[in-house]
Amino acid sequence: MADANTDGRPETVTDRADGGTAPGGTAPDGAALKEAGLRLEVAGAVATVTLDRPERRNAMTFATWRGLAAIGRSLPADVRVVVLRGAGPSFSAGIDLGMFSGEGGGGGFTDGSDAAGTDRFIAELQEGYTWLRRPEIVTVAAVHGHAIGAGFQLALACDIRVVADDARFCMKEPALGLVPDLTGTKPLVEIVGIGRALELCLTARTVHAEEAARIGLAEISVPRDGLDGAVQDLVTALLAVNPGAAVATKRLLWGAPGNSLDEQCAAERREQIGRLREVFGR
Ligand code: CAA
């Protein structure tokens, strides 16, 4: 795999081969990725984003979330699958706790007294997560070790979670007096239901891999030494599907929870017309 930015050349995505709507943007250079604690490797249709501060258990800073957003804005147009993984013993220990005291970089924490400014600020950080839902890509979280707080939410932001048997999820925010605000509450409720989501968040207890698989937090669960192989097999299978059908189907499936049956039926017809034109049109 080649580092996407080894030559320091910014890549810009303005047009996607499948007609999708990647917003375009300049890829973060090597220095920006390093400051963000991230590594990006692009090999053809597969991008791998590695949370890369193992000595801090991949704790994340504002720079990390801005870096993730920049990666999302600048993905090469032919990338179809994005894998998120963690270097070292854990996926991610969540927010860098040093930021609460201003030691973790990024200029310290806001006290929320400027509500409008804080709203804009958090919205900007959430952009590091929301791009993972774009229909043009399928996103896979490869989780081993701890996935705490913001790390748990990052796994939830992905389409599919593959977990090693040492994976441990914890929504720590309420225990720190905060709420999960990095897009995690909606997928958590959709996956495990409101009762289980309340129980997990309000006790901030740890969910081990076996339970995660049982309650739907993980689609695939494997021994620790089988994680990379399982992700590779999944990626291969995802890439084997017709690209246009994959985009349309992801759009359809993610739209389903917000639609009535009639609306969803109409969406199926609309997407199928597009597919029929693509597959059988002259
Ligand atoms: N922030 C900053 N540093 C962290 C960190 C974090 N979140 N998590 C771990 N580290 C550092 C440790 O301080 C330690 O540094 P030193 O070597 O300098 O002592 C190093 O990483 C290794 O950590 P441990 O020795 O604790 O490693 P471990 O493997 O025994 O334990 C762990 C791993 C269970 C993740 C444990 O480190 C831990 O509980 N970390 C804190 C987790 C946490 O509370 N995160 C915040 C969640 S809330 C959130 O993310 C969202 C929000 O908005 C509030």
Q: What residue segments make up the domains of the chain, in order of their start?
A: 30-240, 241-281
What is d(CA 181, CA 188) in angstroms, rounded to the nearest whole number? 12
The per-residue pLDDT for range 240-250, each reduced to its tens digit, is 999 999 999 99
Q: Which residues does ligand 1 sit against, CB inside 6 Å?
A: 56-57, 59, 89-90, 93-98, 146, 148-150, 172-173, 176, 178
Cα–ligand 1 centroid distance for 158 (angstroms): 22
Q: Give the closest residue (by CA) to ligand 1 atom 12.
A: 56
State residue 111's pLDDT score: 85
State residue 23's pLDDT score: 56
Cα–ligand 1 centroid distance for 269 (angstroms): 48
Binned at pLDDT 50, 70 and 90, residue 282 comes out as: confident
Binned at pLDDT 50, 70 and 90, residue 3 comes out as: very low
Cα–ligand 1 centroid distance for 93 (angstroms): 5
Q: How large is the greatest C-alpha to C-alpha distance in the chain, in angstroms?
A: 63
State residue 263's pLDDT score: 98
* Listed residue (117, 127, 151) closest to 67, CA to CA: 127
What is the reported pTM?
Answer: 0.92
* Listed residue (40, 37, 173, 34) closest to 92, CA to CA: 37
Name the class of domain 30-240: alpha beta
Q: Report the pLDDT averaged over residues 224-230.
A: 98
The per-residue pLDDT for range 97-128, each reduced to its tens digit, is 998 887 765 556 788 899 999 999 999 999 99
Q: Report the pLDDT averaged over residues 162-174.
A: 98
Cα–ligand 1 centroid distance for 165 (angstroms): 20
Q: Give the closest residue (by CA) to ligand 1 atom 21.
A: 56
The per-residue pLDDT for range 148-164, each reduced to its tens digit, is 999 999 999 999 999 99
State which of 52, 53, 57, 65 you would mutate to test the pocket of ligand 1, scoring each by most atoms of that ligand within 8 A of its C-beta.
57
Q: Give the closest residue (by CA) to ligand 1 atom 14.
A: 56
What is d(CA 57, CA 92) in angstroms, rounded to the nearest whole number? 6
Q: Report the pLDDT averaged over residues 226-249.
A: 98
Lowest model confidence (mean pLDDT) among 3-17, 26-40, 114-128, 129-143? 3-17
Q: Does the pLDDT of residue 201 top 90, yes or no?
A: yes
Binned at pLDDT 50, 70 and 90, residue 253 comes out as: very high
What atom in ligand 1 is closest to the CA of residue 152? Answer: 50
Q: Give the closest residue (by CA) to ligand 1 atom 8.
A: 93
Q: Report the pLDDT averaged over residues 76-96.
A: 98
Buried/exposed code over 201-234 (b: 16+ C-beta within 10 A; e: otherwise): beeeeebebeebbeeebbebbbeeeebbebbeeb
ipTM above 0.90, yes or no: yes
Known catalytic residues are 173
Please give the residue that has the higher pLDDT: either 110 or 215.
Answer: 215
Give the relative orientation of helices 150-157 and 115-130 as an angle to the nearest 10 degrees.
Answer: 50
User: What is the CATH T-level fold of the domain 241-281, as seen in this structure?
Assistant: Lyase 2-enoyl-coa Hydratase; Chain  A, domain 2 (1.10.12)
Q: Report the pLDDT averaged over residues 185-198.
A: 98
